Structure 1
Amino acid sequence: MNPLQGLAAARAKGKPYGITSVCSAHPLVIQAAVRRAVADDDVVLLIEATCNQVNQFGGYTGMTPDLFVAFVKEIAGREGLPAERIIFGGDHLGPNPWKAEPAGEAMAKAEAMVTAYVWAGFSKIHLDASMGCAGEPAALDDETIAARAARLAKAAEKAARARGGTLPLYIIGTEVPVPGGADHAISDLKPTEAKAARRTIDVHREIFAREGLDEAFGRVIAVVVQPGVEFGSENVVPYKPQASAPLTTLLDQEASLVYEAHSTDYQGRAALTALVANGFPILKVGPGLTFALREALYGLDLVASEMVANYGERPLARAMEKVMLSAPGHWRSHYHGDDRRLYLQRHYSYSDRIRYYWTNPAASVAVARLRDALGGVAIPETLMRQFLPTLPAALGAAGDPEAVLIAAVDLVLADYDAACRPA
């Protein structure tokens, strides 16, 4: 059985388990996640793409849904992971990429996007029509959100039945920042009120029934709420189980549902384990993985600067600064402050907006130059301790920079893996 379908029943039996939702399009992140799945036959890999990242027009990755599936499957095949052990999920699927347009036009594009996702083989669909479009309030009322979600579900159902095979599982709700994350420091964060989550479920159930989608609503497995976890550019709000206790209690009345926890990046193993135990077993992570990758890349950049003749003084970091300044669209509205603070945020922010730039040709050249410089070069234990202290010092001796990068990502995935193990 699809492990997503067993989450609610496992919780009801007092034996909860979780599943890590890897939301990234970076090939090394995907490779690290695939390798962890290969090493454990019990792991089913859940890979997700967001509406801004991947859509019928290419998104910011340049990949349509079918190209994204092919991209992940190519890496999986190379690493020896059978395609049937991968679940593809679509996150925040709705009009967000086109919210500057009138609602009718934005929703038509959202329907086409959902259709493309389902045709490509995505079987976990997060229906998110919460954002206002041109001329509408930024936050819509529950009825409008649910009606638009039902409209998107109809498109998904039609595509799935025409395609054949397994019908989609759905996620509803969206009490989290818009795709891309928070754009400010967060000092006070309250979990979703249980009565608000109750209303989200009830209104969606009612409107889906009205639209003849009872059977589809039966495949709603989770609700996105705010459990009280988030990260801003410079701080992380830790999970406080007692604050989300009313949400956990609500699940006792909805035996077929669990919660999906977004923005769990940087929470740590104990907090992630508590989230799974308290009814939040779908743990989404994205920027936390590419943040760890960037840490390792910059660590290797420092190593090469110290020990490789003619490499230069941190050329990778310098290249990334130039790339981000030349195309500020992905960070300008998210980072704030004077020039020095903006510089620090561009490179070291928890929001990790730098992740949007690794596919830039100049960035790719700089990364390739770094890997070439350190390929076959044994990194002394002392330099590993100095610049990559979270990784085993012996790892550097092999002269394999890719192994170092994947190990950095895997450290993060290991916390999720441990948290998701059956209690």
Structure 2
Amino acid sequence: MTHRWPLHPAPGQGEALTSWLHRLATVYGMNFDQLVSRDLTPPGVLMPSRLRSLDLEAPSDLITTVAERTGVPEKRVHRMTVAGWVPWLLDSLQPEEIPRSSYQTYVRQDSVLFTFKERPYREVLDWRAWLPLHSKERRVSRVCPVCVESTTDNSFVLTLIAQLPITLTCPHHGCRLAPAFGPYEFVGWENNKINKRPALGQIIIQDARTEEALTTGKVTLPRRTIHVGVWFRLLRTVIEEISTTLSNLRVRPRRMIELIWREAGHPVRAGIIGAARTYESLSWPQQEMLLEAAATAMQLVEAGKIEAHGTLGHLLTREPDRTVHDGAPSRGLWDGAHAAADECLVRAQQDPLVAEKVLATLTSLTRSEHSFQRIRSDLIALDIPEEFLPRTLATVRAI
């Protein structure tokens, strides 16, 4: 029977599996490799090279064992890996059954800024959204400088989403994430100088929506609330559209893309020259520029400065104001009716033809002579000369 660990710090919000296992190992004076190979899996099952890919996909037996050792539900442990977010974050981790289908389904099934006719055709083989998780040579994590300074070694949390090129800022402190060496804890910064540029408002809004997606399963946009899966595909589609080669675009979309990059303060296409490249294959500095430009594009659409013509573009605009009728005629309508009636009465007092038309209109649905005479008498009381008005209902019908 699997024994329960007496000490097991709870996983942090959005924490990556390897980060949590490292903290668990530290409690017992072990390192990450020893914990996984000696207590969580049979000897020789996981090769050292696979240990670093546990954030991508962990064996089901390991997830079950961790859940039994800690009491944390298996579903939550699974969510600490990228595989736990299939099919919301990406469609599948498995190889494509149909060549080029993953890219077409995820990126090109819908559009945001462009119409389908405006978007150049493109195929990408063996592609997975937002991956690879890290390079094969070394692992580089993205962490918040404020979090590093304010936590101890055993409480520092590496979040799963920060290891993917999806967010730019820390959801708690709003400052930019900085590349750092792992592999399972903070070791040191990749660059001597941390990027201390303040995050712009549109970037914080974009990252807040991603955080909302991961914590609630939905995202609140100006038009309506959408599913987490729709949000990640919308974001990835915008990135694809703003990185399109300008020479392949018509005049309107080309000018729009140039405006977006100008407002973002970066070179067009993050400085990429020549043929299109997939976002996942770019360096982090280029991915960072693309994420900023994507946030700028959404802000411009929401502000009405550019128009999104794609199938998902309307989600970034607010529902137009519509006057809701409360059932009572508006004062302006009544005022207009009164003015028209007064003018008609004045003309009827002076023109026999107008007087006949007024009486004919008011008695058009009248069937009895008695009702006709009552309406005729009312008009006479309003100073319309009696001789201007037909004397009987039959006379009116004959006119």
User: Which has more strand, going by share of residues?
Assistant: 1
- Report the TM-score range of the alignment, normalised by the length of the smaller protein: under 0.3
TM-score, normalization: structure 1? 0.22
Which of 1 and 2 has higher RCO (CA within 8 Å, sep 6+)?
1
Which one has a bigger Cα radius of gyration?
2
User: Which has more helix, going by share of residues?
Assistant: 1
